[in-house]
Amino acid sequence: MTPDEALARIRRYDGRLKAFVQVFDPPLTGDAATGAVIAIKDLFDVADVPTGGGARVPLDPSPAHHAAVVERLLQAGYVAVGKTHTVELAYGGWGTNRAVGAPWNPWDSKVHRAPGGSSSGSAVAVAAGLCDAALGSDTGGSVRIPAATCGVVGLKPGRGLVSLKGVHPLSPALDTVGVLARDVATAARALAVISGPDGEAAVRGPFDAETALNTDVRGRRLAAIPLEALGEVHPEVGRLYLDALDRLRSAGLAVEMVSPPQTLDHSFTPNGMLMAGEGWRIWKDRIEAYGEVMDPWIVRRFEAGREISDERLAEAHLRREADQQEFHAWLAGYDALACPTCPIPAPPIDAVDETVSPLSRLTRAANYLDLPGISVPCGLTDAGLPVGLQILGRPRDETSVVAIGAAFEKVSGWNGRTPDLAGFTS
C-alpha cells in the first residue's frame, strides 16, 4: 500500500480500533521512501517523538535518536505512519491497558475482545490493513500472541540477531525484537533489514530472507506436540491445530507426534520469574514515582520481582542454562517443533482475568529456551476468531522457521483472510 492509502485507512477505522497512539502525517521517511508502510510499537525510540511505553507519563519525552531497528528500516526505504499501542511497559499478554486504553481486536466489531499483548496495537494495525508490517517486542510471546489472536504473522528471532538499542527493556535476558505482517514473506524481509550488527552490540546476522523463503522443506522432520500433552486447549483450537498438521504433511513435511523432554509449561514460571526480577530492577524508581497513575495489574507484576533476591535470580539464570542445554540437545534431532500459539481464542476484554496468563502458556518457552519462532494463522473458530500455529526452531535457525512457516502458509487455506471492518468506520 502507499503511505496515503495507509493514512486514509487510519483516519477511517482507527477511531474505534485505537491501534495507534500517534500518527505521523506526513509519514516518517529516510533518504528514499520506496518500501513497505510500517508502524512502530511505542516501546521503540523515534527521534523527537515521545516514547510512551503504554504509560501516562512517557518513558522518554524526546529521544535523541531512532532505535537501531527503526533507523535500519527508514534507511532501507520503509515508511513509518505512526506509533502503536502497547501494554504498559510491555508486561502483559492480554493486550489490556488501564493506564491509556487498549486497542480493539478487529475480528469482532460488536464485542471488544482482547487483541493480545504486549504488541497489541501493532497486531491490530496489521490485521486491519492500516500498514504492511509493524515492529513489536517479544519477552514471553508479545509478538506471537497478538499475531495469533488478530490473525496475522508474528516472527520472533532468537536473541542476538536483532539489535535492542533504543528499545526500552523488560527483561534483558529474554527481550527480542520481532515483526508482525500479513504474510510470511513481508515479515521475513523486514527481519532481514533490521538484523545484523548495530555498530555497538555484538549482534549476529544479517538474516537472509530470500534463502529462507526459497528453501524446500519437503522431507524435513517436524516434531508436533500431541494434543493430550498440551494441557487445557480450547476444542476449536485443538481441531484447527490437528488440521494444520495434516496440511503440513500435505506440503511434504514428516510430522512426528512427540513430546519434548520438558513440557512448554515448564518454562512458564521461570520465565515469569526472570521478567519480574529483572523488570523490577529496571523500573523500580519509575514504579515508586508513578505507580498511582500506572495500570494496577502491571504494578503488581513488577512488585512481585521485589521479593526475588539477587541469589534467587542468579539461580534462575543457572537453571535456565541447564534447561536450554537439555532442550536444545533434544530439538537437534528435528528441524522444528509445532504447537498452537495460544490455547484459547481472544476472549471479551471485560472477561479477562489478569491473575492468569493462558495466552502465553505455550509461547514463553521460546524466550526462556532462546528459540526463534513464528505464529502463522491456521483458521477461524466457528465464532470467526483467528487461531495461530506456532513453529519453534533450533537455536539460531530462523531460516527453517521462516521456510516452514512459508510452506504452511501456501497450504493453510488462509489465503490472506481479513476481518470485516464495516463496524469500525469512524
Indicate if 163 belongs to the active site: no
Query: Is residue 113 within 8 Å of residue 73, measured between CB atoms?
Result: no
CA distance 264 to 390: 12
The single-letter code of the amino acid at 128 is: A
Indicate if 259 belongs to the active site: no
**Peptide bond before residue 122 is cis, with ω within 30 degrees of 0:** no
Q: Which of 18, 83, 109, 118 is catalytic?
A: 118
From the list 364, 146, 349, the residue with the least C-alpha distance to 269 is 364
Q: Which of 122, 137, 142, 412 is catalytic?
A: 142
* Cα within 13 Å of Cα(25), Cβ side: 12
CA distance 421 to 416: 15
Query: Is residue 366 within 8 Å of residue 156, measured between CB atoms?
Result: yes
In sequence order, which ranges of 251-353 are alpha helices (DSSP H)?
268-290, 296-306, 310-331
Indicate if 142 belongs to the active site: yes
The single-letter code of the amino acid at 271 is: N
CB atoms closer than 10 angstroms to residue 324: 16
> b/e string for 81-119 if b means 16 or more Cβ within 10 A?
bbbbbbbbbbbbbbbbbebbebbbbbbbbeebbbbbbbb
Q: Which of 18, 41, 83, 165 is catalytic?
A: 41
Residue tagged 535518536 (cell numbers): 65
Residue tagged 494495525 (cell numbers): 125
Query: Is residue 18 within 8 Å of residue 82, measured between CB atoms?
Result: no
Q: Which residues are catalytic?
A: 41, 118, 142
